Structure 1
Amino acid sequence: MEINENVFSNAEITVTYKPRCCSNAELCARQLSNVFRSSVIPWIDLEGAQTEAIINQIKKCPSGALQYQLKQKDVA
């Protein structure tokens, strides 16, 4: 069975989760549980913390299953 990437976005950031790469260390859920929720669907809630906190947590992912991309802000 193919397990596809999960993509979550808000106005500032897009987060991609690759389940096939995940080592299930659960650092994300233990350290930033307002965003990375293990018992709720959708399990990533980008409104649960500031973007900077989300980025800092993603950088701690040991397997690289979590990735992020900041959205470009329009400059007038």
Structure 2
Amino acid sequence: MKTNEYSNGEITILWKPEKCIHAGICVKTLPKVYNPKERPWIKPNNASTAALLDQVSKCPSGALSIK
């Protein structure tokens, strides 16, 4: 399974596109970080590490995780 990595220098967000159910929670919670219309679509430098950890923990499909 493909995994994309996006780092802010402190943590790395892992995204597994095949697991993503497009619930939209990430985009609604942190729109400055997650923008599906842009590439890269995840910009972890646009939020605090604490905010990223909190948001990733709410991903319903498990497509987002932290390394």
- Aligned pairs, number: 67
The letter for the 2-side match of 1:14 is T
Unaligned segments of structure 2, at least 5 residues: none
**Which of 9, 16, 19 is the aligned partner of 2:17?**
19
**Which of 36, 39, 42 is the aligned partner of 1:38?**
36
The letter for the 2-side match of 1:23 is I
Name the TM-score, length of structure 2 as normaliser.
0.93
Q: What is the Cα-based RMSD across aligned positions, in Å?
A: 1.1
Aligned-residue sequence identity (percent) comes to 40
**Which of 38, 44, 47 is the aligned partner of 2:45?**
47
Alignment-derived partner of residue 56 in structure 1: 54
Unaligned segments of structure 1, at least 5 residues: 70-76
The letter for the 2-side match of 1:59 is S
What CA deviation, in whole Å up to 9, does each residue of 1:15-46 have, x standing for no partner? 10000111110100111111111211000001
Q: Shift of residue 10 of structure 1?
A: 2.3
Greater fraction helix = 2
Runs of 4+ in 1 over 6 A off after TM superposition: none
Structure with max Cα Rg: 1
